[in-house]
Amino acid sequence: MSKKISIIGSGFSSLTSACYLAKQGYDVSVFEKNSSLGGRARQFKKDGFTFDMGPSWYWMPDVFDKFFNDFGKKTSDFYNLKKLNPAYRVYFGKNDFIEIEDSLEKIKKVFEKHEKGSSIALDRFMANAKKNYSIAVTNLLYKMPGISPLELITRDTVLKAGSFLSNIRKEVGKRFKNKKLRSILEFPVLFLGAKASNTPAFYSFMNHADFGLGTWQPENGFYDVVNAMVNLGKSLGVKYYTNHDVSSLNTNNKKVESITINNKLFYSDIVISGADYVHTESLLDPKYRQYSNKYWTKKTWAPSSLLFYVGFDKKLKNVSHHNLFFDTDFDNHAKNIYDTPNWPKDPLFYANFTSITNPKTAPKGCENAFFLVPIATNLNDTNDVREKYFEIIINRLENLTGQKLKKNIIFKTSYCVNDFKNDYNSYGGNAYGLANTLFQTAFLRPKIKSKKLKNLYFSGQLTVPGPGVPPAIVSGKLVSDLILNNETTI
C-alpha cells in the first residue's frame, strides 16, 4: 500500500509538492480550510466581475515552465500566456508617467530620454542582473533546501561575495541619478518583502525577471495557474479537500501520527504544512515547537496589505493593466512598514485593471480594479481606516489620471490585516511571509524539516526560498525532493 501524505493548505507550495509526490506513487491528500483552493491566490466572482484575490504579476515564466516540464507537459497544455506590453505604467504625478515596455531595447530608449547616458548604465546593470539570475534561479535555488550554509557556497557565489555585502539601493544609486529611474529599478525587490536598502545587491536578479524576462498574463487571470496545478494533481491521483480546517497535529513516538479535522482523525505517514509556519507550530504540543514567540517577533516580516476589489460601470482612461502610483515618497511609506509600524500618511499604491487585457473579467463596458497599499503587519484594522484610505487612493487616481470615478463604482469590497489572519491564519496578517533580507536568506530561514518530529515538513513563503509565487513553487519542489531523499529513514 502507498504511504499516505497529508498536506495542510492549498497554496502554490502545497499544490506543487502534491504533484511531485503523487508522481512518485504516494497517496497524497491536500486539506484546505477555506472553501476554495489556491491559498492567497484564490479567486472570487461577484456581480459579473472576476477578481484574483492575491498575486497578479506573473514573473519568472521559466519557473512555471520547469514545473510543468517535470511532468512531461508544457505550460501551454494548461493555459495561454500573453506577454504584456506595456508591462506596466508608473505614475509620478499628474499626467507624468513612465511606461515600461516589453523589451530591454525599448526600455533603454525610455531611460535615455530621462537621463542622458543611462541606457549604457542600464545595459551593464542588466548584464549583471542576468548573470545573477542564472546563478541564483537557474543553478542555486533548486539545490538550496536551507539545511546547511555550504549550499550557498559555489564558485559563482564566492566570486559574487561583494554583492551580498552591498545592497540594491547603493548599486542603483551609484549608476543612476534620475529619481524616477531609480525608483523603477528598486521596485522589483519589493516582491522580496524588504526595502531596497535592506536587500543584498545580489538580488538584482529580480531586475532581470522584470526587464529581461517580462511581465506575462495567463489568459483568464492568475487563477488559471491554480486550476492547472490542481488538474495536473488530479490526473496524478491527488485528493483535494476544501473546508477542512486542521485543528491539531497529534504525535506519537516523535512523529506526527494523525491530524485532526472537524473532530476526525486523519492518519498519515508524512505531513507537510504549507500553511503559515507559526500557525502550524501552534497546532503542536509546545514541546515539539522549534521556534519561540521571541524568534518570530524579531523577524523582518514582509508587508501586509490593504486591498480593494472594485467594479466600475465604465472603462477607465490613462491606465494600463498594471500601474504603480509612485507619486509620493516611498522612503516615508517604507518607514511606516518596517521601522515604526503605522498607517502611512501618503501611501504609494498599486492598481491593476485586468479587464483591459481580458474583457471577460468584467461585465460589458465595465472595468475590474484591484488596489493594493502595502502596510506593516499587525496594524489596527477597522472599517473606518479602510474607508479613509479608499478615499485617499481614489482621489489620487482621479487626479493623476484626469477622470471622475467615484460615481461609477458599482461594486467594492476590502481586505486587510484581519482578513489575512482569519482566512489564512497568517502571522500578524502578513501578505507575503518573511522578507528576504541578508539574515533571512537560505539556511537562515525557518527549516523545511522539523528538528523535533521525524515526519513533519514545512513549505511556503515563510521557508526557502521566500515570498512570491515562483519561490512558493520552488519551495514545494524542495520539500518533495527532501522527502524523497529521506524516504528510507521515515
Ligand X SMILES: Cc1cc2nc3c(=O)[nH]c(=O)nc-3n(C[C@H](O)[C@H](O)[C@H](O)COP(=O)(O)OP(=O)(O)OC[C@H]3O[C@@H](n4cnc5c(N)ncnc54)[C@H](O)[C@@H]3O)c2cc1C
Q: Which residues in this chain contact ligand X in the complex, by CB under 6 A?
A: 8-14, 31-34, 39-41, 54-57, 245-246, 274-275, 279, 305, 307, 372, 424-425, 431-432, 460-461, 467-470, 472
Closer residue to ligand X (CB): 171 or 281 = 281
End-to-end CA distance of the chain: 15
Instruction: Give the span between the Cα atoms of 18 and 460, in whole angstroms.
Output: 13
Closer residue to ligand X (CB): 193 or 200 = 193
Closer residue to ligand X (CB): 21 or 246 = 246
Place of cell 460601470: 313
CB of 215 vs ligand X, minimal distance in Å: 10
Closer residue to ligand X (CB): 446 or 468 = 468
The residues with which 52 forms a beta bridge, in sequence order, are 43
CB of 297 vs ligand X, minimal distance in Å: 20
Instruction: Give the span between the Cα atoms of 24 and 21, in whole angstroms.
Output: 5
Closer residue to ligand X (CB): 62 or 245 = 245
Instruction: Give the span between the Cα atoms of 14 and 273, in whole angstroms.
Output: 8
Rounded (5°) CA angle 432-433-438: 110
Instruction: Give the span between the Cα atoms of 9 and 21, in whole angstroms.
Output: 16
Q: Which three cell numbers stand for residue 465?
A: 526560498
Cβ contact 151:145 at 8 Å? yes
- Total length of the chain: 490
Cβ contact 459:475 at 8 Å? yes
CB of 33 vs ligand X, minimal distance in Å: 4
Closer residue to ligand X (CB): 14 or 354 = 14
CB of 83 vs ligand X, minimal distance in Å: 16
Residue number of the CB atom closest to ligand X: 11
CB of 342 vs ligand X, minimal distance in Å: 20
Instruction: Give the span between the Cα atoms of 403 and 409, in whole angstroms.
Output: 13
CB of 262 vs ligand X, minimal distance in Å: 11
Closer residue to ligand X (CB): 305 or 361 = 305
Closest alpha carbon to 325 in 398, 417, 416, 216: 398
Q: Which three cell numbers stand for residue 361?
A: 473579467
Helix/strand/coil for 228: helix
CB of 233 vs ligand X, minimal distance in Å: 14
